[in-house]
Structure 1
Amino acid sequence: MTTPRAWFITGATRGLGRAFTEAVLDTGERVIAAARDVESLGPLAEQHPGRLVPLALDVTDRAAVFAAVDRAVSEFGRLDVVVNNAGGMLYGMVEEATESQVRAHLDLNFFGAVWVAQAVVPHLRAGGGGRLLQVTSMGSGGGMATVGFYGAGKAALDSVSEALAMEVEQFGIKVTVVQMGGYDTSLFTTGTTMTDPLPQYQDLRTEMTAMWGDATSPAASTAAPAMLELASLPDPPRRLILGSQSFDQVHEMNRAREDYYRTWEHLSRMAPG
């Protein structure tokens, strides 16, 4: 009988993290579910005795991350799949953001994910390999007004994760950058920090609000089957856009960027480098 895999999922109490946790448990596998406040996971742990271990963790605390990963390994004896999902949103114009807001945001969305990756790699290597799924965003390919710092943190994580994938593949560790599309999560409510708006940006803010619109996003649970499939592929991709509509949007954005580069190709080629 095959031993169920052991998963380590951050940001596991809400949104995509909660959906992934529930989906993994439904397959009969085991989860260390990490989040700052894990009280809401109590009923789920009772439903899955011995297979769900809630673990209070602030991923911005590097020492706490390493201690939590060590505890996770001691609980299940190994780690097989890590979903680096914890994150938040800083919403507002670049000029409006305070130093403390920017640093706190990047501590969570970028540095926190890096600490988790650093902590789990030695254990995955010791176990002969494993999967590391780095959750970023479909919007990490470029900046957009009001969500510039969110895109910046995710873009940085994209780049580091691709480097990490090259570094650890020799150990049997497969890293995938999962560029998530728009799902119905609490990212824009409880997961959001708002800047104090400057009146000079009111027209643009109104324009961006209208552009975001009020369309209903798919439930977070609808992303879970693809994540389960991804974690089971023998040769997974290093980068994956997750979401049908998001795939089309990213494809269109990339095509528009290529056209834009071509428009200014003559200026680019004036320099010999």
Structure 2
Amino acid sequence: MSKTIFITGASKGFGRIWAEAFLKRGDKVAATARNTETLKDLAAQYPDTLLTIQLDVNDRAAAFAAVEQTSKHFGSVDVVINNAGYGLFGAIEETSEKEARDQIETNVFGLLWVTQAAIPVMRAQGGGHIIQVSSVLGVATLPVLGLYNASKWAVEGLSETLASEVKDFGIKVTIVEPNGFSTDWGGASAIHTEPNPLYDGVKEALYAGLTPDTIGDPAATPDAILKVVDEENPPLRIFLGKVGFPWLNQVYANRIATWEEWKEVADAAHGGQVTA
């Protein structure tokens, strides 16, 4: 049975690729973008099953209106994919107030507004599935991406909490955590801070580690997304790409080792009688 998919940031990258995959298999798609001109070819190809909506996710009222428009147009909103967002490259010290605020505004608040708009619609229809596009950098960090890391850590915390709050409404939540992929995220769509030469060495080391083997092919991702959407009991979290699992396995092993090393100090800070 076909589903109705609402997806933000559908003009390019993952959003465009996934929207097209859903349309090809017969789903109905509401594709939002700041500039819907980029979707004209898809609209001509799928006139009955594609609804294009101009949307800046930073506009809360517009986000609510877009979800409501989709519900009225197609009769339901089965899946929401919060994909809109961008990368901010720069050391913490280099980042201006405007750059920092803009990053959080889009990557966190934009996702929050669409999520808030989707919940009452899904609750009224008896269920749905909210898919939040996070990143492996929402679980671990890399230098020179501090504000982006922070935005995705916020998405992780918000979305894990959301899953526990809406499960009784029949609403499922999945956090998608891609590693690096050859989309515009690191290219034309990225914002770069004014560089400080003191951080040149850190940046060079980061970029040297981004070998072709660590960068995924976005065209290979639709099958995974389709499987998650079709799953009766979808995962709360799923990596996209082969880099995330081995990297995060080591990251968590290191974290646990540090917590264990400092456990006595932590326990003493609790106060009262400490049990072994």
TM-score category, normalised to shorter length = over 0.9
CA contact (8 A) 2:141 2:149 kept: yes
1:137 is matched with which residue?
135
Q: How far apart are the structure 2 equivalents of 1:170 and 1:10? A: 25
Which secondary structure state, in structure 2, belongs to the residue aligned with residue 212 of structure 1? coil
Q: How does 1:160-179 map to 2 (within 5 A)?
A: 160-179=158-177
1:238 counterpart letter in structure 2:
L
- Structure 2 unmatched runs, 5+: 272-276
TM-score normalised per structure 2: 0.93
Which secondary structure state, in structure 2, belongs to the residue aligned with residue 119 of structure 1? helix
Q: How far apart are the structure 1 equivalents of 2:201 and 2:232? A: 50
1:231 corresponds, among 229, 232, 256, to: 229
Q: How far apart are the structure 2 equivalents of 1:57 and 1:177? A: 22
1:252 is matched with which residue?
250
2:26 is matched with which residue?
28
Q: How does 1:1-273 map to 2 (within 5 A)?
A: 2=1, 4-215=2-213, 217-272=215-270
Q: How far apart are the structure 2 equivalents of 1:129 and 1:157? A: 21
Deviation of 1:216 after TM superposition, in Å, equals 6.4
CA contact (8 A) 2:180 2:214 kept: no
Which secondary structure state, in structure 1, belongs to the residue aligned with residue 41 of structure 2? helix
Deviation of 1:181 after TM superposition, in Å, equals 2.0
Q: How far apart are the structure 1 equivalents of 2:247 and 2:157? A: 21
Q: How far apart are the structure 2 equivalents of 1:216 and 1:263? A: 32
Which secondary structure state, in structure 2, belongs to the residue aligned with residue 269 of structure 1? helix
Q: How far apart are the structure 2 equivalents of 1:184 and 1:214? A: 9
Could you tell which deviates more after superposition, 220-229 or 100-109? Answer: 220-229
2:242 counterpart letter in structure 1:
S
Identical residues among aligned pairs (%):
38
1:55 counterpart letter in structure 2:
I
Q: How far apart are the structure 2 equivalents of 1:182 and 1:112? A: 22
Q: How far apart are the structure 2 equivalents of 1:7 and 1:61? A: 20
Deviation of 1:39 after TM superposition, in Å, equals 0.8
Deviation of 1:171 after TM superposition, in Å, equals 0.7
Q: How far apart are the structure 2 equivalents of 1:222 and 1:247? A: 17
- Structure 1 unmatched runs, 5+: none
Deviation of 1:26 after TM superposition, in Å, equals 1.3
Q: Could you give the per-residue CA deviations for residues 132-182 of structure 1, whole angstroms, max 9, x where no partner exists?
A: 101101121233210111110011011011111111111100011111222
1:153 counterpart letter in structure 2:
S
Q: How far apart are the structure 1 equivalents of 2:267 and 2:161? A: 29
CA contact (8 A) 2:140 2:248 kept: no
Compute the RMSD of aligned alpha carbons. Answer: 1.5
CA contact (8 A) 1:45 1:54 kept: yes
